[in-house]
Each structure stands twice: as C-alpha cells, then as structure tokens.
Structure 1
Amino acid sequence: MTRVTVHTPETAPEDSRAELTALGKQFGKVLNIHGAMAHSPVVLQSYVALQQVIGDYGTFDARTREAIALVVGNVDECTYCQSAHTMGAKAAGLTEDQTIAIRNGKIDFDDKLATLLELTRQATANKGSVKDADWQTALDAGWSDTELTELSTHVALNLFTNYFNHLVETDLDVPAAPGL
C-alpha cells in the first residue's frame, strides 16, 4: 500500500490541481504515480517540467523514449515503471516480445536502438558512466552527440520516477509487465 495519499484533482494541494487534472485527461485517469506525486507540488511540478522540456526540445520519438524508460526501470527494478512503460511502448509501436527483449538487454530487432539502450543500461547502473567504446559504437550507429547527451535527461527523468515509486511504494494500477 502506498505510503502517501493518492490525490484526485479535488483533494490535491492547490499547486498540484491543474497539472494533476491535465495528466488525468492525458492518460484517461489519474494514475497512482501522478496522484501520489500531487501530494507534494514540488514533485509533481518537477515531473511535469521535465516532461514538458522533453516534449518541446527532445529529439527521440515515442518508441525510443519508451525503450529508454524500460531499460532504466529494469536496471532500477521499478515494477511500476516497467509496467507503465510496457503499456506505453506497445502504444508507441513495440511488441510485447520487444519490450521483454529490451528489459532483458537482448535487443536483436534494431541494431541502432540497441547501441543507445546499452548506453542507457550503463548510465543507469554506473551513476552516469559509460564505456568510451560503447559511446563510439552509438555514434557509429548513427546517433548524434546531441542525442547521446540528451539521453542523460531521459535517464534522470526515469530515475526520478523510479526513485519516487520506491520511496512511496506506489500501488500498481496498470497491467503488470510480463515476467522476465
């Protein structure tokens, strides 16, 4: 059971209401993660701000963003995020088998994506550090310096949500990700 109140737009602190309402409309309901984040306006506003910046300036398509989130959630062992991003990844065009392969680190369906996700896995597991050879492999595969540096924001956003879910023990309210 989650450690904090999962708010609705009506019960949320005033400084969380507009964003929580907008997220509820975007996802068709207020997800437990968002309702719990609303408990602290600084948490919800930080999440919304990072999502907004990525939406305004990010270079990755939805499929790539969801794949990054799946890797971070797997490395960080966040059940909630692996489940939510499995759902998002399928909506972005990945198959369930591909989401499992991504979480397992065995991407055999897209060589370019595999190089980016290897950097994601390393950055998540190693406090941001990645191997020079793997950075170069990603460049050689066609990723730009801009994209590879942008990766840090995606990893940070996903670690933020993973850590939040671990901290408050967010109850799962989306279909569970398939087991590995």
Structure 2
Amino acid sequence: MTARVPLHDRTSAPIDSKAVLDQIQGAFGATPNMFRAVANSPAALTSMWAAFGALGHGRIPAVLGEKIAVAVADRNRCEYCLAAHTALGKKAGVSGHDMAEAQAGRAADAKTAAALGFALKLVEQRGRIADAEVQALRTAGFDDGEIVEILAHVALNLFTNYVSVAFNVPVDFPGVKLLAAA
C-alpha cells in the first residue's frame, strides 16, 4: 500500500510540524503513520494533536474513548484506526473480547452500550439525531458535558478515519479485521 501523501518524519516535515512530531514521538515512542501523513499540514497536525490532548484530559475515560474509536473506525471501514485504537485500548487494559464487542457497537454494561449506540447513530445519521437520542444518554448516566465529549470523540475519529482512508495510510499497528459490511 502506498500512501497518497508523503509520510513525513522530523527531517522531512514542514518546519512548523517538527515540534508536534517530537511530542507525538515522545508520547508513543514512535511516530505513527497517520500523524506522519497529517504532518504535511502544520495546522492540521497541531489541531489533531491538540484535540487528542484535550480529550485525553476530559471526563470521558480513555477506555470509553478507545471503544468509541473502534466502533466508529469499523463503521467507516478504516483499517488503520481500527488497528491503532484496538492496540491503544488493550494497552489501557481493555480485553481483546471487549474491544471486539465495542468494534461491533456492543458492550456488557448499559452505560457504555448507550455511548457506543449514540456514537454510531451520529456517524450513520451524519449528526442528525433526535431529542430521544440525547435523552437516552442522560438516562444512561451521562451529563451534558460528557455527551458533548462523546460527540467530540466521534468528530475527532471521523477526522482520523478520513485521513487514513482517503490518503491510503499504511497500517503500522497489529492488524484487526473489519466486520462484514453492514
């Protein structure tokens, strides 16, 4: 697979991308290909990295964020993000079984299941949801701030999915099979 844009490292990236690439390298111990593709635009890279950082310090736990990411990635048929977030979820302590369930939009606990269902409805309906969808999250135990964060996770994952699919970014995480097309 050949990427449709250059995959930059610190030596080839635009000068304004280099400091952010250094931060990513420090956080991961490597620079994942998806970030290397986005490094073509310093503004896009800075925006994406800042969004990851902000949501990483949000109220939605990292484990739920990773589960949302794999559900959205599978729905968008993004092999890169599915592989990356499955690995990150496992690193955060989620079992392989629970990550596979999340990939399918399922979870054993009702609160996580509600968040995954909402995330997938956002993707499928392009954000056009009913009042009842938001109310269902409140009923499941999420407050309005957490509901907005769930949407922010979905939006960030749409960005990363589109980057990875549109630019044919080579997967540099252990592969995970997409579910059968819905």
TM-score range, shorter chain: over 0.9
Match of 2:136? 137
Match of 2:18? 17
Q: What TM-score results when the alignment is normalised by the length of structure 1?
A: 0.93
- Structure 1 runs of 4+ with >4 Å offset: none
Structure 1 unaligned regions, length at least 5: none
- 1:33 paired with 2:34, answer yes
Q: Is the 8 A contact 1:118 1:134 kept in 2?
A: no
Q: What TM-score results when the alignment is normalised by the length of structure 2?
A: 0.92
Structure 1 residues 26-70: Cα deviation after superposition (integer angstroms, max 9, x where no partner): 1111111111111121221110121232234x1111101111111
- 1:46 paired with 2:41, answer no
How far, CA to CA, are the matches of 2:86 and 2:37 in structure 1?
Answer: 21
How far, CA to CA, are the matches of 2:82 and 2:128 in structure 1?
Answer: 22
Secondary structure at 1:93's aligned position in 2?
Answer: coil
Q: CA RMSD in A?
A: 1.4
Q: Is the 8 A contact 1:100 1:178 kept in 2?
A: no
- Deviation of 1:168 after TM superposition, in Å, equals 0.8
- Deviation of 1:129 after TM superposition, in Å, equals 2.3
> CA, structure 1 residues 77+178, in 2 after alignment: closer, same or farther (shift >3 Å)?
closer
The alignment-based identity, stated in percent, is: 35
Q: Is the 8 A contact 2:77 2:178 kept in 1?
A: no
How far, CA to CA, are the matches of 1:80 and 1:136 in structure 2?
Answer: 32
- Deviation of 1:106 after TM superposition, in Å, equals 2.8
How far, CA to CA, are the matches of 1:168 and 1:178 in structure 2?
Answer: 20
Structure 2 unaligned regions, length at least 5: none
Q: Is the 8 A contact 2:79 2:178 kept in 1?
A: no
